[in-house]
Amino acid sequence: MAVYTNLGAEALSELTSHYDVGRLVSAKGIAEGVSNSNWLIETDGGEKRARRQFILTMYERRIDIAELPYFLDLLDHLAAAGSPVPRTIHDRTGATHRAIDGKAVALIEFLPGISPDKPTKEQLFAVGEALAGIHLAAQSFPGHRENRLGPSEWVETLARCGEDRLAEINPDLPRTLDVARQVKEEWPTDLPRSVIHSDLFPDNVLMVGDRVSGLIDFYFACNDMMAYDLAVIHAAWCFDESGNVFNKELGRALVAGYDSRRALSDEERRALPLLAKGACLRFVASRAFDWFDTGAEAMVTRKDPMQFARRLDFYEKADNSLFTPPAA
């Protein structure tokens, strides 16, 4: 999440008037993330209702507006299946999104909970279980979207940045281009698939205690290998912020939670070290590109690609025992 476009109270009030949610009370920009503009919206709820909160998203970058029905219908599908996913709020005509100044916007249900900054093994178990749940629920979703941030895109993005510019960020960063080329050649294509989130960082998970209360921000969702989605979380959650220190307990809890809902196949488990390297490269590439592409005027915090380059170093030395639950 982020804020690239400023919307005043008048524009926000006019927008909310098209929904059966009551009158606008307040709106606050949300600074985290790098792709869309987001606000926390509060309304009076309308007649005989309590105040209500929503997330308003304006789609700025990396999203083809023609694909919005895929993302927004997916939320409704998963929520209807009982997954902890926010519903899309439809306007009075039934539309899932509207336009402001040529940009698409959508209103999304607000879910309670807090994103964990120091997750516990109990929380990681719950996250793994919830991830498996959405993979199973999404198998009946009729929409389809290819993953446009796969191995070919990592190589292309890092090459576009150029080794000299990558070295400006850190002298160790240019080597990731060669690793990306190697991983692209080894990438599997025949593992079980569903709709995956593909970006389930801690700030996209809401928790109440050890319970997952919300999985949010599905705007990188696509049809791809389920084990790759698990590898993304493994790389994103199981290290310290620097990317230097891996927490084995968290990693084991995550995989055990996933296995408890959907058992990984032997082929998936063997592929996980490679898939984890790919997860690291996906975020090295996007963060490096954003490092040079984010304007100073945007209310966005740039993310350091080296945090995932260090994780990549770790997975290059790992084997699939890393993803095997301990014997009972």
DSSP string, 83-117: -S-PPEEP-TTS-S-EEETTEEEEEEE----B--S
pTM of the complete model beyond 0.85:
yes
Rounded CA-CA distance 216/200 in Å is 8
Return the number of other C-beta atoms located less than 10 Å from residue 76's C-beta: 17
Fold held by 9-109: Phosphorylase Kinase; domain 1 (3.30.200)
Task: Report the candidate in 264, 267, 280, 262 with the shortest Cα–Cα distance to residue 316.
Answer: 280
Q: Do the domains 121-323 and 9-109 match in fold?
A: no
Cα separation, 109 vs 94, whole angstroms? 15
E strand or H helix at 185:
helix 175-186
Query: Could you give the CA distance from residue 318 to residue 272 in angstroms, rounded to a whole number?
Result: 10
pLDDT in tens, the chain (328 residues): 455 567 788 888 999 999 999 999 998 888 665 568 889 999 998 776 788 999 999 888 667 889 999 999 999 999 999 999 999 999 999 999 999 888 899 999 999 999 999 999 999 999 999 999 999 999 999 999 999 999 999 999 999 999 999 999 999 999 999 999 999 999 999 999 999 999 999 999 999 999 999 999 999 999 999 999 999 999 999 999 889 999 999 999 999 999 999 999 999 999 999 999 999 999 999 999 988 876 555 555 678 999 999 999 999 998 888 888 666 5
Domain boundaries, the chain: 9-109, 121-323
CATH number of 121-323: 3.90.1200.10
